[in-house]
Amino acid sequence: MNIIRKKTWQINENEVTPKELFEKRRNFIKLGAASIISSGAVMQALAKEDFPKITLDFIKDKNINNLKLNTFEQITSHNNFYEFTTKQSAVKDIAHTLNTDNWKVTIDGLVENPMEIDLDDLVKMFTLEERIYRFRCVEGWSMVVPWNGFSLASLVKKVKPLSRAKYIRFETLVDENSFPDQKRGRFGVIDYPYIEGLRMDEAMNELSFLATGLYGDIMPKQNGAPIRLVVPWKYGFKSIKSIVKISFVEHEPMNTWQKENPKEYGFYANVNPNVDHPRWSQKKERVLGSFLKQKTLMFNGYENEVASLYNGMDLKKYF
Ligand code: MTE
């Protein structure tokens, strides 16, 4: 029997609206308003320009699991973005140096349709959606975020991987003028560019998402503007920010944190309360803004959607 179940993030076709506003908004940002976009003055300017508060158009997530959203303030004030600083509360104040003008994404490697494409043109190829996801950092904090963007699978289908392509490798921008820690050269906190990877079947899973915004607006710089990955069943470090390159490759890519510390971080990084980090337990997490801890869920609560990807794998070995 073939039962078609509606996915959490699916909604009726008639709730889709056009997406010109995305471009309009990006043009506005290009006028130089990016670093002060959340200030009252800019919001007033936006209102005058007849921009709705929610500037992107997207298919809404019905949030059938009734996840309680973290506030915009919480999501944008506690960030891991080593290219700026390791101080999580400080990223938001210095992230304005990230230059997202004329952002291009290169898609290369083992694909039929490689391309170097303007972000705006890339986004136009897809229908924007909202995905309300749990997000769990390996450090033990978590949040619930309403992301906007499109599924990674939809991009993969467009570029048509060759059969030899078994993994996708993602790369963050290298630009000393955008990122202060990259200016420090070999004294930087980690080796740049920041690299992440997914196995092809993980990338094709419907949950894997390329986010270009959150809370209905373009992506704040501290959260990985203008385009980042979101893989909600994996620890947050897999969700690479400010992507400039997506490569289809034959072999498992060496991701940044595995390279930095292979005893503590692996390639898979699936959220798993039963496999502790060598230095702390992963059984519980503190949601941003909460005092008490809550239990961490297997695959961050997405077991039904992703457990089959790892059938027969020892998750202690492939951590
Ligand atoms: N991507 C880049 N390029 N640089 C980073 O330092 N940090 C990762 C991930 N992506 C990181 C990155 C980690 S450790 C986490 S937990 C998440 O981004 C944090 O995302 P957030 O700041 O939007 O919460």
Are the beta carbons of 267 and 234 closer than 8 angstroms? no
Which of 69, 74, 76, 80 best tests ligand 1's pocket when mutated (most atoms within 8 Å of CB)? 80
The reply to whether ligand 1 has any atom less than 6 angstroms from the CB of 240 is yes
For the chain, give the mean pLDDT.
Answer: 88
Closest protein CA for atom 23 of ligand 1:
223
Which whole number is the average pLDDT over 276-289?
98
Which whole number is the average pLDDT over 112-117?
98
pLDDT of residue 27: 52
Other beta carbons less than 10 A from residue 167's beta carbon? 21
Are the beta carbons of 7 and 63 closer than 8 angstroms? no
Ligand 1: which atom is nearest the Cα of residue 172?
Answer: 3
Q: Give φ, ψ of 210 to 5 degrees.
A: -100, 110
CATH number of 60-310: 3.90.420.10
Question: What residue type is 42 in one-letter code?
Answer: V
Please give the structure tokens belonging to residue 173.
Answer: 């921008």
Ligand 1 centre and the CA of 90: distance in Å?
14
Are the beta carbons of 72 and 215 closer than 8 angstroms? yes
CA dihedral 258, 223, 288, 41 (to 10 degrees): 160
Of 31-40, 74-83, 273-282, which gets the smallest average pLDDT?
31-40
**Portion of the chain with pLDDT greater than 90, in percent:** 82
Ligand 1 centre and the CA of 80: distance in Å?
4
Confidence band of 283 (pLDDT split at 50, 70, 90): very high
Residue 40 has pLDDT above 70, yes or no: no
Of 47-56, 107-116, 180-189, which gets the smallest average pLDDT?
47-56
The reply to whether ligand 1 has any atom less than 6 angstroms from the CB of 265 is no
The reply to whether ligand 1 has any atom less than 6 angstroms from the CB of 130 is no
Of residues 2, 9, 1, the one with CA closest to residue 305 = 9
Which whole number is the average pLDDT over 241-263?
98
Please give the structure tokens belonging to residue 140.
Answer: 């033990």
Residue 292 has pLDDT above 90, yes or no: yes
The alpha carbon of 276 is separated from its chain's Cα centroid by a whole number of angstroms, namely: 24
Question: What residue type is 95 in one-letter code?
Answer: A
The reply to whether ligand 1 has any atom less than 6 angstroms from the CB of 310 is no
Domain boundaries of the chain, sorted by first residue: 60-310
